[in-house]
Amino acid sequence: EMSEMSERSKQHVAYGLAWSYYVGYLKIVLPRVKKSMEEFCRTNPNLLACRKTWKLHILIPLSCDVYDDLEKADSNIQYVTDLTETTLARAGTKKRVYKHSLYAIRDEENQLWHCAVEYATPLQSLYAMSQDECAAFSREERLEQAKLFYRTLEEILKGSKECADAYRLIAYEEPEEAETHFLSREIMWHLQQEHREEIALLEGNHLHTPSMVLDSAELNLQISVSDLPQPLRTDGF
């Protein structure tokens, strides 16, 4: 009965997607990110001077609106190159390639900041489900599942020793009115925050995170203490 109830309410969708994303992708690539950054920096020492940015920045738009081309999403985001590939035999596919793209983010002072950034691809599945009549997935359910996906992924990664300090989740709610450079500003805030964290670390100071950051508390998420996630609240969000 519990299984049937959870299937009818679609509670397993985001929970399963988060775990699949972690086990089938992030747990494989994140432990190798810093090594790829180090190899890149040997020939490009000035582009990634801040070691705190040596991680994979994962975009999580709560609208689940994912662009295949980041440069089309925001003209202040420019593709630079791909980092060193990781090649593994995976589920019957020989020499499966995993790689990340390095981008230059232009700030409001026309300065370029470099980082590896990509969308959380499972959000494409959530969006597609909301467009497919067979899934009967409403826009409201999609929003709830996007929140649950973020919160579940955050908790999984916090408990992962292999992935520690190799990622940064960037969850955001897009403005109602389109803003040309909203995405680049969102990424820039995190890059600047990482830069401040590195300075604070070098100086031995404790850095307080401003309340303006969109974190899990602001997302007003609820995760069940049981094995089955419970429905999310959307009021006040």
Best CA proximity match to 34, nearest among 166, 201, 177 = 166
Q: Is the pLDDT of residue 228 over 90?
A: no
Distance CA 167, CA 52 (A): 10
CATH superfamily of 9-207: Stimulator of interferon genes protein (3.40.50.12100)
Best CA proximity match to 171, nearest among 138, 219, 122 = 219
Distance CA 151, CA 167 (A): 15
Best CA proximity match to 120, nearest among 46, 35, 186, 63 = 63
The predicted pLDDT at position 88 comes to 84
Distance CA 78, CA 101 (A): 10
Q: Any idea where the domains of the chain sit in the sequence? A: 9-207
More confident residue, 55 or 179: 55
Q: Is the pLDDT of residue 10 over 60?
A: no
pLDDT in tens, 79-130: 999 998 888 888 888 888 999 999 999 999 999 999 999 999 999 988 888 8
Q: How confident is the model at residue 219 (pLDDT cuts 50, 70, 90)?
A: low
More confident residue, 9 or 177: 177
Q: Chain-wide mean pLDDT for the chain?
A: 82
Task: State in Å, rounded, how far the first CA of the chain is from the last one.
Answer: 31
Map 73-116 to HEC letters.
Answer: HCCCEEEEEECCCEEEEECCEEEEEECCEEEEEECCCCCEEEEE
More confident residue, 128 or 189: 189
Scan for tokens 């810093």, then name that residue: 34
The predicted pLDDT at position 100 comes to 95
Q: Is the pLDDT of residue 155 over 50?
A: yes
More confident residue, 24 or 228: 24
The predicted pLDDT at position 223 comes to 44
